[in-house]
Chains A and B, each alone.
Chain A
Amino acid sequence: MKDDHQAITDGIDQGRRYFLIAGATAAAVAPAVLLQTVTAASQATPVTSDVRWGLLIDTAKCMEGCTACIDACCHENGLDLQRPPGGEATSKWAGQQAVWMRKIKLQDNQTGRVTSLPMMCQHCEEPPCMDVCPTGASFKRADGIVMVDRHLCIGCRYCMMACPYKARSFIHQEMHGQLTRVPRGKGCVESCNLCVHRRDHGEDSTACVDACAAEGHHAIIFGDLKNPESRISQTLRELPSRQIREDLTLNTGVRYSGV
């Protein structure tokens, strides 16, 4: 009888304890959840086609030997966290690690003029990578950013075959220590997404643009190609520019001046 009474008392005590703990936890967490929801509301707004993000690269201002934009891109997008798998030769790893942005130095065969420029995904209006992707993982956002849905990518690499700019990379190795804003997984394809996480937070530049400006070169301009008042549109009106491989008429979102 005493045991039974003890059990009932324990039971009531346990229940009350759980209730209090749960209540206290809810009281502590709820504001955070609500706050999170409130913050997320702006990010949850659908992307519209009222804007088209793009870049203008003025090769006259791009300094030979400077890699500030690339370093910033690697840091921003966690590419510097890639490590060669154990036992992999350095030369082989160089061809297999993911690269979103690279510098190219060119020389004109006729005139001998040397140009230096960064290359990345050109964010085509008619992206060949999107056309060939069997699952639709390669897609273009309404605001013109071309990127890969990592949940749909099966790793067939057909988009890499189709990209006229060799802009895409395949993740050849197991990944550890990734950034939350740029998750990546072995066996998927990826490429420059114009720092899409910044777009979703309402920031108005990309890592490469900031880094180039910090170096004092200001060779890259980011902005809305559809807004005639934007700096990129105004500069495009003044400066002669072109698209790389413009014969393919892909209407790229990245334009070059001085090539």
Chain B
Amino acid sequence: MKRIVYREWRIPSARYWSILGILAAVAGLATLAFGYMEHTGHWVSGMNNSVVWGLPHVFAVFLIITASGALNVASIGTVFHKPIYKPLGRLSGLLAVALLMGGLLVLVMDLGRPERLIVAMTHYNFSSIFAWNIFLYTGFMVIVIAYLWTMADRQGQPFNQSVGILAFVWRLALTTGTGAIFGFLVARQAYDAAILAPMFVVMSFAYGLATFMLVLLFAFDEEGRPIGQKMLRRLKNLLGIFVAGALYFNLVYHLTNLYVTKNDGLESWLLLHGGIYTLMFWVGWVLIGGLLPLGIIYHPVLNKDRNWIVAACALVVVGGLATMYVIIIGSQSYPIQMFPGQTILESGFFDGVNGQQAAYHPTIPELLLGLGGVAIGLIITVVGVRVLQFMPESLADDVVALDEETLSQEAFVTPS
């Protein structure tokens, strides 16, 4: 094992600026979309009084939980003492802060009165999990920046372990809080479930790691930095466990609902008759976000191919967005059951006449706003790795720490 050397991202200037230019263009379009929606009012979006949170929230929540998941790689190195992950810690921290920033911006830009953000920062109602999240999110950024300092500065080194543990506990609280935004809602049947909080934590592990791997592999490929099989194997195995974990929680959530008779209507709607939401659930959440990546990761041949690993990560991200779409929009689309045992024949406010789901058609400005959050997250990451030493020069097999998984074999090799 050699000494880990961190270096700025030294891709050719033209390449760097073109990447930044594309991202800035997306962020610029998102700014225009924001201006348009705020100026005219939300009527230009697909959101309405039945589906009150739309596509921007899908992106925002995805980015927020992905941010906390991206920090896991650093936590595994610091908190769980896995030396092979240590060189990845800095990039992990940077990505976590960047994605959280992107997600929060989308959330704020979609407010009905974004100019009143100062009100949200000066008036707190502590019975609201939203108010708590304001502290959890800002606290996360401060702690992770401190964590980065302990990783990068010799003076901060002694605090690395303690700040790392704090960051790990905080990120668990943050994702629990994000899951609780939905889990605490008694009004809607698909929410109102404590399991949503841990489910969001496990999903954040999967989405965060998949996004981290995509960024890492792209950045290393662009500059020709080596990543050895040892590192790739560890990362993709971990991703497999996280994806399987997320699927497990999904299964338990639906089995519980299926067991409880009052939720039969919801489950038969979502699993069989929900139209786009049923499609998103089976094809997006289960197949693309779960079974396909698992198939690649545990395939004896494909899992050794770097491109297939990239494909598995991309599938997890796409599946993650579909999952958020089902959880956030699908759950609102299913009518609130105000009168159990009765059918609503007529309503002046779309109360689910004859069980009909609420309509929601996402619009281009909403999509642009959501993509803008992704772009902001990536801009911060790209600029960060360009100007500061966030990435190790090499992750080749002879550079990274000994792989404990194969330690038993190596330890028993007879010296020649």
B interface secondary structure, majority: loop
The segment from A11-19, A41-49, A94-102, A210-218 found at the interface with B is: A94-102
Q: Is B338 at the interface (CB under 8 A from chain A)? A: yes
A153-B112 in contact (CB<8A): yes
Shortest distance in angstroms between A63's beta carbon and chain B's nearest beta carbon? 13
Stretch at the interface among B125-133, B148-156, B235-243, B380-388: B125-133
Q: In this complex, what residue of A is CB-closest to B346?
A: A105
Asked whether any CB of chain B lies closer than 8 Å to the CB of A187, the reply is: yes
Complex Cα–Cα for A107 and B339 (A):
10
Among A128, A152, A153, A170, point to the contact of B42 (Cβ < 8 A). A170
Partner of B120, one of A154, A169, A171, A186: A154
Which of B159-167, B182-190, B220-228 contacts the other chain?
B182-190
**C-beta contact mask, B103-136 vs A, less than 8 Å → 1, else 0?**
0000000011110110110011101111100100
Chain A to chain B: the 6 pairs with minimum beta-carbon distance, closest first: A155-B112, A187-B112, A102-B348, A95-B48, A134-B130, A105-B346
Subset of 28 A-B contacts with CB under 8 Å: A85-B40, A85-B41, A88-B43, A92-B48, A95-B50, A96-B49, A102-B348, A103-B347, A104-B344, A105-B346, A106-B345, A110-B341, A114-B345, A133-B125, A134-B128, A134-B134, A135-B124, A135-B125, A136-B125, A157-B112, A158-B130, A164-B338, A166-B49, A168-B49, A172-B48, A173-B43, A186-B41, A187-B113
In whole angstroms, what is the CA distance A174 to B53 when docked? 20
Which residue of the partner chain B has the closest CB to A132? B128
A161 to B51, CA, bound (A): 9
Known: A105-B347, A166-B351. A244 touches B338 (CB 8 A): yes
A189 at the interface (CB under 8 A from B): yes
What is the bound-complex CA distance between A108 and B114, given in angstroms? 44
A residues near B323, Cβ cutoff 8 Å: none
Most buried by B among A110, A152, A189: A152
B336 interface neighbour in A135, A153, A164, Cβ under 8 Å = A164
Q: Is A131 an interface residue (CB 8 A)?
A: yes
* Mask: chain B, 138-160; 1 = CB below 8 Å from A; 0 = not: 00000000000000000000000
**Which residues of chain B (180-198) have a CB below 8 Å from chain A?**
181, 184-188
The answer to whether A156 touches B343 (Cβ under 8 A) is no
Complex interface: chain B residues within 8 A of A135 (CB): 119-120, 123-125, 131
Interface residues in B347-404 by Cβ distance below 8 A to A read 347-351, 358-359
Q: Select one of A154, A155, A161, A245 contacting B338, CB under 8 A.
A: A245
The reply to whether the CB of B332 lies closer than 8 angstroms to some CB of chain A is yes
Closest B-chain residue to A166, C-beta based? B336
Distance in angstroms from B194 CB to nearest chain A CB is 16
Q: Is the CB of B40 within 8 A of A174?
A: yes
Indicate if B52 sits at the interface (CB-CB under 8 A).
yes
- Residues of chain B at interface, number, CB under 8 A: 51
Contacts across chains A and B counted by CB atoms under 8 Å: 183
Assess whether A259 is interfacial by the CB under 8 Å rule.
yes
Residue from the list B41, B111, B187 in contact with A162, Cβ < 8 A? B187
Query: A99 CA to B351 CA in the complex, in Å?
Result: 12
Indicate if the CB atoms of B128 and A131 lie closer than 8 Å: yes
Instruction: Find out whether the CB atom of A170 lies under 8 angstroms from the CB atom of B112.
Output: yes
> Are A154 and B185 also in contact (CB < 8 A) when A95-B359, A170-B52, A244-B338 are?
no
Bound Cα distance A102, B124 (Å): 32
B contact set with A: CB distance below 8 Å: 38, 40-43, 47-50, 52-53, 111-114, 116-117, 119-120, 123-125, 127-131, 134, 181, 184-188, 332, 336, 338-339, 341-351, 358-359
Interface residues on A, range: 35 or more
Interface of A is mostly: loop
B187–A152 contact, CB under 8 A? Answer: no
Given A155-B114, A259-B339, 13 additional A-B pairs, CB 8 A: A70-B348, A93-B43, A95-B50, A103-B346, A104-B344, A114-B345, A128-B186, A133-B128, A135-B119, A135-B120, A135-B123, A137-B123, A172-B47
Tell me whether A136 and B185 are in contact (CB under 8 A): no
Contacts of B41 in A (CB 8 A): 85, 171-174, 186-187
Contact residue among B130, B342, B349 (Cβ-Cβ distance under 8 Å from A166): B349
- Chain A nearest CB from B363 CB (Å) reads 10
Contacts of A188 in B (CB 8 A): 112-113
Q: What is the distance, in angstroms, from A104's C-beta to the closest C-beta of chain B? A: 5
Q: Is the pair A107, B342 in contact by a Cβ cutoff of 8 Å?
A: yes
In the complex, the answer to whether A244 meets B339 with C-beta atoms within 8 Å is yes
Contact status of A160 and B52, CB under 8 A, knowing A109-B342, A131-B127, A132-B129: yes
Question: What separation, in Å, do the CA atoms of A156 and B43 have in the docked complex?
Answer: 15
Give A95 to B239 CA distance when docked, in angstroms.
41
Residues from chain A with a CB closer than 8 A to the CB of B128 are 131-134, 158
Is A57 at the interface (CB under 8 A from chain B)?
no
Interface assignment of A248: CB less than 8 Å from any CB of chain B: yes
Q: Which of B112, B185, B342, B345 interacts with A171 by CB under 8 Å?
A: B112
Contact: A154 with B342, CB < 8 Å?
no
Q: Which residue of B lies closest to A118 (CB)?
A: B348
Binary B-proximity of A230-250 (CB < 8 A = 1, otherwise 0): 000000000000001100100
B112, B332, B359: the one within 8 Å of A156 (CB): B112
Q: Is A119 an interface position by the 8 A CB rule?
A: yes
**Cβ 8 A contact of A161, one of B188, B343, B347:** B188
A106-B343 in contact (CB<8A): yes
A156 engages B111 (CB within 8 Å): yes
- 1/0 contact string of A134-148 vs chain B (CB within 8 Å): 111100000000000
8 Å CB contact of A106 from B181, B342, B348: B342
CB pair A134–B124 under 8 Å, yes or no, is yes
Residues of A within 8 A of B184 (CB): 132
Give min CB distance, B42 to chain A, whole Å: 5
* B105–chain A nearest beta-carbon distance, Å: 15
Kindly state whether residue A68 has any CB partner on chain B within 8 Å.
no
Interface hub of A114, A133, A134 (most chain B Cβ within 10 A)? A134
